Structure 1
């Protein structure tokens, strides 16, 4: 783990562990978290909340991947009893996507602690929105323990979500890459929505917007089963677009989202074409891989691996869009957008991109650059919109 010479960074969970009474005194509270809720000294936020004496932890809530990160992407589950603490864990990734009034009735507050990625597709953000709405309606306090944006807080990239395209992978009108911490995001949504949630953000200490996660000195945990490393995090905002296609996005391999491929793809030709574009901060290299699950399970895939050579200049969204465009151009008879999950609903690429522009126009000459330029304009305007909600320099 890279260590910084700057002052140490402490998360909201670290501050809660240090002075729980300041936030929880006399409160019966629930905890919405998962395996990413961890302190600087490797204590689970679950353990922190269960062991403090200021308030009483009476319930827990789990969203995608489960309370301790035990479930794969998209796996639904029901309520359960935590075997260690013997208290109910309410599922927010099954029959319910938000706490119900019955779940909230015995509580004074909910503590929310997740390491977000700073990318719109991550479902933790949408779970936060739904939880804020539920707490506002029930008159309950929501305490968000802030954490760093792993990609830093300076750059924003990608188009805005359009009305009518909201889903679990896009819950608010924000760009692909937000440049916000999860606490800043909560402040923005609370104000823009007018929901008036009783929101308290426990801020970071020592974090500045130019810091990527390795510079914080905080322990990295797999943000999800398919987000194992910082290398994955850097490319995800762009290569996640392949989830909406018939290519493997590398799920079922040790390099998800860094490797893209299919049995019919000519990885060498795609890598050569992409390298000729001279995109900043990135190199493409041909690879072969065999997914152990998900798309093309058990089949040998020809593909490319994305190597980020300069995180400061690398543009993941533009790069990912150009890569989809290149594959579509070179393999028009094989490439396809995945159909909607349900008849009459939006396709996944529409939900990911937040509009129907990409599937409808990307095949046209020069469309990739045109779309990316328009997205850049939207992101630049939105960067001004977010300014009142920023907590850090």
Structure 2
């Protein structure tokens, strides 16, 4: 039975939406499961008034590739004014909310700590709390499900727009559940409501929901890319291409200086699971790292929903670092040149220690389990679909 989205249940909640000036935080992923209507059309059909639209990274229509865009060019005739919440401004101002009586959030997330839509939501929750405005989340599935919680919990000292609130890398929450977690974590005084889904459990990954793949952002065109983004995102901290700008982002990794035969054989000798197959692959990105250059590396294909890609991504990164220590470069944080971006994406310094040979992959996995178990206990009472 197909999962029913929170958006598809709003008509039942007239007491929440009717007669209110609504600020809608959304993008192109805010659509019905049959793709026939976006949330603006659904709200209009219900007689609900959208007074202002707020948009995240990539913009309302998904045209931006990780940068702030001019939302005035995205505004459709007769629709509410659009305010971007990406770039220098990430939180609605008091002026933005002056005539707003209700904030509503509806976007497709991917269940990973470093995905920015989560923070667009929490920053807006803070603004709503400060303004005394109720906040509603129209819940959608976590495509990676709630069974696998893995990766380090980020240190509070490393908080940023790609990681905060001591979340594990793969947190296992829907955005509705994450909203309750953030409210509790931050001690936020906020009238928070979640319009829950139907026919959904936290055990479900995307293929079990019966839903079409709802592309959340340009670099995640399919579910398979998202499986490998869990872990593969760490390569964004380096000068190794993670496949952005190619036909298979986060499924292909490489650089012009790699010997793909050597990397292939070394990873084959070290691999510990059967959840992924991989092959040698050369590719030419059209944008991003090495645009227009031939990159030599590997292409991955997931076979199992149950095996996490993070260990494989770290093994591949270590092989490349060991073989090309003079060529691999990790970028520094803009705000702190003493901190490499890898530490922020991973959540602490253990990934660097692993690459330096100071700790083993087993050490990392044991720490993930301990931290994941603690996190699971802390959110047990907040689960909506168990």
Q: Work out whether the TM-score is over 0.5.
A: yes
Tell me the SS of whatever aligns to 1:19. helix
Q: Displacement of 1:366 after TM fit?
A: 4.7
Match of 1:205 among 198, 203, 218: 198
- Aligned-partner Cα distance in 1 for 2:213–2:301: 20
Q: Does 1:354 align with 2:375?
A: no
- Aligned-partner Cα distance in 2 for 1:142–1:50: 19
Q: Displacement of 1:20 after TM fit?
A: 5.1
Instruction: Give 1:158-177 correspondences, 5 Å limit.
Output: 158-177=151-170
Q: Which deviations, in whole Å up to 9, do the C-alpha atoms of 1:92-142 show, x marking residues without a partner?
A: 113310111111120111110011100001000111110111100100011
Tell me the SS of whatever aligns to 2:156. coil
- Aligned-partner Cα distance in 2 for 1:282–1:94: 36
- Aligned-partner Cα distance in 2 for 1:69–1:267: 33
Name the residue aligned to 1:238.
231
85 and 317 in structure 1: CA distance in 2 versus 1, 3 angstrom threshold: farther
Q: Does 1:292 align with 2:293?
A: no
Q: Which deviations, in whole Å up to 9, do the C-alpha atoms of 1:245-268 show, x marking residues without a partner?
A: 110000000100110000011222
Match of 1:26 among 15, 19, 22: 19
Alignment length, in residue pairs? 383
Instruction: Give 1:67-216 correspondences, 5 Å limit.
Output: 67-73=60-66, 75-78=67-70, 80=72, 82-216=75-209
- Poorly superposed stretches of 4+, deviation over 6 Å: none
- Aligned-partner Cα distance in 2 for 1:84–1:206: 36
Q: Does 1:267 align with 2:287?
A: no
Name the residue aligned to 1:301.
295
373 and 271 in structure 1: CA distance in 2 versus 1, 3 angstrom threshold: farther
Give me the TM-score of the superposition, normalised by structure 1. Answer: 0.93
> Over aligned residue pairs, what C-alpha RMSD do you find?
1.7
Give me the TM-score of the superposition, normalised by structure 2. Answer: 0.95
Match of 1:327 among 314, 320, 325: 320
Q: Displacement of 1:160 after TM fit?
A: 0.3
Match of 2:357 among 339, 346, 364: 364
Instruction: Give 1:377-388 correspondences, 5 Å limit.
Output: 377-388=370-381
CA contact (8 A) 2:227 2:308 kept: no
Q: Which deviations, in whole Å up to 9, do the C-alpha atoms of 1:289-315 show, x marking residues without a partner?
A: 001000111110101112212121x12
Q: Which runs of 5+ in 1 are unaligned?
A: 1-6
- Aligned-partner Cα distance in 1 for 2:370–2:291: 39
Larger mean CA deviation between 270-279 and 339-348 belongs to: 339-348
Match of 1:318 among 311, 321, 328: 311
Tell me the SS of whatever aligns to 1:103. coil
Q: Displacement of 1:145 after TM fit?
A: 0.5
- Aligned-partner Cα distance in 2 for 1:242–1:277: 19
- Aligned-partner Cα distance in 2 for 1:178–1:225: 22
- Aligned-partner Cα distance in 2 for 1:204–1:339: 41
Larger mean CA deviation between 284-293 and 84-93 belongs to: 84-93
